[in-house]
Structure 1
Amino acid sequence: MRAIVPMALAMSMTCLSSGICADYSSGLDAYKAGNYAVAVQEWRALAEGGHAQAQVSLGWLYLNGRGVAQDYGLARKFFEKAAVQGNVEAQYNLARLYYSGQGGRQDYTQACLWYEKAALQGSADAQVNLGTLYSNGLGCQKDDKAAVFWFLLAVKQGHGLAFVKLGSMYEDGRGVTQDYVQAYKWYNLGARQNEKTGEQLRNELTKRMTPAQVDEAQQLTTEWMAEGP
């Protein structure tokens, strides 16, 4: 699973009033200046009042111990408040905490649920992690075709790890017909996204392929890069 995503520093929200916008912006300015304690003060009242982005931001501060003592339980609390309002960043981070068990009970079913909500909103990280849960049968019924579906969606967003995950599915014939040429292509594309695992798996797979297959896979890689996702 990939690391929890950092808090977005760009404000992307609908303000309920100019005063609320100003309060959130003040916290954001303090955060950017490294004045985390001030950011906590600015965002806490907003978060307690139901402001989703402030809840996410405050949750991130508790998660990382910025301006407050690190507290995974409070991080989970604020992420959940924002997640139920449909905030995709909160949904992703809440899923991560359920998966790891930080701040409360470990619950793969809840992790799967919240990853899916974030994935449906287009989070590539959530799509990869959800695909991994389906592939492993953790928190949701094992379903290799569903795993391939989510990996493909993340690939279309250029997510490096998704290329590698998809390559593995083709190499093993899980959810798709086994195809070393396709597996090589996806590993190769992952390697070009600086995923070291993609490079390693591609090189290992090459030992089981004919020169003609490698040439074909290289050509498919070139074509995919030219066409884009």
Structure 2
Amino acid sequence: MNTDLQTSSLEELHSLAAHGDIEAQYDLGLMYDLGISVQQDDTTAAEWFRQAAEQGHAQAQYNLGNMYFHGRGVPLDEAQGVIWLRKAAEQGHSYAQYNLGSMYHHGRHVPQNNELAAQWFTRAAQQNHAKAQNSLGMMYSKGEGVPHSSTQAATWFLKAAQQNFLSAQVHMGFLYANGQGVPKDNDQAAAWYARAAEQGDARAQNNLAVRYAKGQGVPKNDAQAVFWYHKAAEQGHPRAQTNLGLRYASGEGVQRDLATAIMWFRKAAEQGNPEAQCNLGVFYAKGQGVPKDEEEAALWYRRAANQGYAKAQYNLGGMYSKGRGVPQSDEQAVIWLRHAAEQGHGMADKVLQALLRQLHHR
């Protein structure tokens, strides 16, 4: 809102607006929209925004479009919302451009069209709109609406990351970690993960913990690894919960505690993490930290095995071979051992060959 508005009386503003002053019309719309110096009134706000919008005021067009999308002060009308948003976008309004791009990307209010999404994201990104820069980076990384280009993805992610956009910082960490679009650089990967981790991003916290665990880009530090695993795990990140469970099971960087290990494995397993499901199966099979229960072990192995986790497929095959926790079945044993062997599980291949020879000689 104009600073000189503070010295203008409401009557003067109404007079200016009534005589077609576009800024006065917009300012009145904003006052009624937010309830500044007047009683909040969506209908009156929309009417003043409309008068300014019809004269080409981009912010008024953007605000009026949003009012149509939400049915505030005007009837809910998505088509009208798109019309006014597009008018603002075509005048260079970066937020309108980003929102229009997002609509085309998701097929919301308009037919889905990645090419148009990328065009609008580009126009907003060139105006330094961080969310648009991040979205454009995603489009280039996936080859959606634009040719696939890791270099272009990195360029736009970096611009957003430098504006402290959290998701882009995580992407930059990933790109530097894997040498995609930028030279592989463990120090840069760790630095970007750290920036995002300190802002509370669970993915970055887990990835930073992995870096501390391996000494990649940061000095190896088991206590720091556990610290960041905890941060991510407490936010419900299943990979971090699994990693933290492994730490408590092994006693690396933390006092060994099987009950706590099992607690974290269970949290991750219930979210579908196959490694945690398999680990939980091992604890039940061996009776470590929980009462021995081979049926429960087989149940968790199966959940992981059905997701293609080779170790769980091997373990489940062994359960069927010996009839532990499941009815004995050579046929099922062969099926699961073969699944594991096909994924390169060396022991599964050896056990499978031995079982097939044994069955052949029966």
TM-score bracket for this pair, using the shorter chain length: 0.7 to 0.9
Matched, 1:202 2:290: no
Matched, 1:161 2:206: no
Unaligned runs of 5+ in 1: 1-16, 216-229
Specify the SS of the correspondent of 2:138: helix
Higher mean C-alpha deviation, range 155-164 or range 92-101: 155-164
Choose which of 79, 82, 87 in structure 1 pairs with 2:160: 82
TM-score, with structure 2 as normaliser:
0.52
TM-score, with structure 1 as normaliser:
0.81
Q: Displacement, 1:44? A: 1.1
Measure the CA separation in 2 of the matches of 1:203 and 1:140.
Answer: 34
Superimposed CA distance per residue, residues 187-220 of structure 1 (whole angstroms, 9 cap, x where no aligned partner): 122111211100111222445555xx315xxxxx
Provide the residue aligned with 1:226 in structure 2: none
Aligned length in residues: 197
Give me the identity figure in percent: 36
Measure the CA separation in 2 of the matches of 1:130 and 1:165.
Answer: 12
Specify the SS of the correspondent of 2:266: helix
Query: Which of 1 and 2 has greater Rg?
Result: 2
Q: Displacement, 1:181? A: 2.2
Provide the residue aligned with 1:29 in structure 2: 103
Provide the residue aligned with 1:105 in structure 2: 183
Choose which of 129, 134, 146 in structure 2 pairs with 1:51: 129
Measure the CA separation in 2 of the matches of 1:160 and 1:108.
Answer: 24
Measure the CA separation in 2 of the matches of 1:43 and 1:187.
Answer: 41
Choose which of 100, 124, 127 in structure 1 pairs with 2:205: 127
Measure the CA separation in 1 of the matches of 2:198 and 2:131.
Answer: 19
Matched, 1:137 2:220: no
Provide the residue aligned with 1:20 in structure 2: 94
Q: Displacement, 1:184? A: 1.9
Superimposed CA distance per residue, residues 150-200 of structure 1 (whole angstroms, 9 cap, x where no aligned partner): 111111111111111001111111110122222222212211121110011
Specify the SS of the correspondent of 2:290: helix
Unaligned runs of 5+ in 2: 1-58, 63-92, 292-362
Counterpart of 1:125 in structure 2: which amino acid? R
Measure the CA separation in 2 of the matches of 1:83 and 1:181.
Answer: 39
**Higher RCO (CA < 8 A, seq sep 6+):** 1
Measure the CA separation in 2 of the matches of 1:99 and 1:105.
Answer: 9
Task: Tell me, yes or no, if the aligned pair for 2:190 and 2:208 is still in contact at 8 Å.
Answer: yes
Specify the SS of the correspondent of 1:214: coil
Measure the CA separation in 2 of the matches of 1:177 and 1:75.
Answer: 42
Choose which of 229, 236, 254 in structure 2 pairs with 1:176: 254
Matched, 1:214 2:323: no
Measure the CA separation in 1 of the matches of 2:137 and 2:168.
Answer: 8
Provide the residue aligned with 2:79 in structure 1: none
Measure the CA separation in 2 of the matches of 1:202 and 1:142.
Answer: 28
Specify the SS of the correspondent of 2:277: helix
The runs of at least 4 aligned residues of structure 1 exceeding 6 Å deviation read: none
Measure the CA separation in 2 of the matches of 1:47 and 1:113.
Answer: 24
Measure the CA separation in 2 of the matches of 1:190 and 1:57.
Answer: 29
Counterpart of 2:276 in structure 1: which amino acid? G
Q: Displacement, 1:136? A: 1.1
Counterpart of 2:290 in structure 1: which amino acid? V
Superimposed CA distance per residue, residues 99-134 of structure 1 (whole angstroms, 9 cap, x where no aligned partner): 111112111111110011111111111111111111
Higher mean C-alpha deviation, range 65-74 or range 134-143: 134-143
Choose which of 181, 185, 193 in structure 1 pairs with 2:263: 185
